[in-house]
A = this chain, B = another copy of it.
Amino acid sequence: MFTTFTNNKTTSMKPINIKQKLEKFDKQWHPHQIATVDNMQVILAKIQGEFVWHSHKEEDELFFVQKGTLFMRFRNVENPENEWSETIHEGEIIVVPKGVEHCPTTLEGEEVHLLLFEQLSTKHTGEVAHEKTQTAYPNI
């Protein structure tokens, strides 16, 4: 599947309220852009259950948990059975370095709210094409 990734740069000099922005959408696994900083963007996402194993070859990715508990699974691309995980609570951040395979997950059906900080060019599921893959993030 060939996809064009089309996030644009936006600049606002007004306060952006995270909770109010999170009320603007319900769809899970559909990131929405709320701000940009140079070539980076701030996006919000609501997730529940298990995402898709993927990595971003050239880009780090920061996850900041706004609500709930994120269970971030990692695995070694050369030895996929070597899997480990980190538990990230509300008010905590984790950075996934470039090239590291990861699979954001939530436990026991909890909906988790995330703020992510990543490059405008970062693709949702890296080079993996999946039914959950989004090819652009609406600005809200």
Contacts and interface: CB of A to CB of B under 8 A. Distances in A.
A37 B38 CA distance: 13
Interface stretch (A9-17, A106-114, A125-133): A9-17
Interface size of A as a range: 35 or more
A36 B95 CA distance: 8
Contact of A37 (B11, B17, B18, B62): B62
Q: How many copies of this kind of chain does the complex include?
A: 2
Contacts of A137: none
B37 A60 contact: yes
Interface in A52-83: 59-62, 74
A87 interface: yes
A35 B93 contact: yes
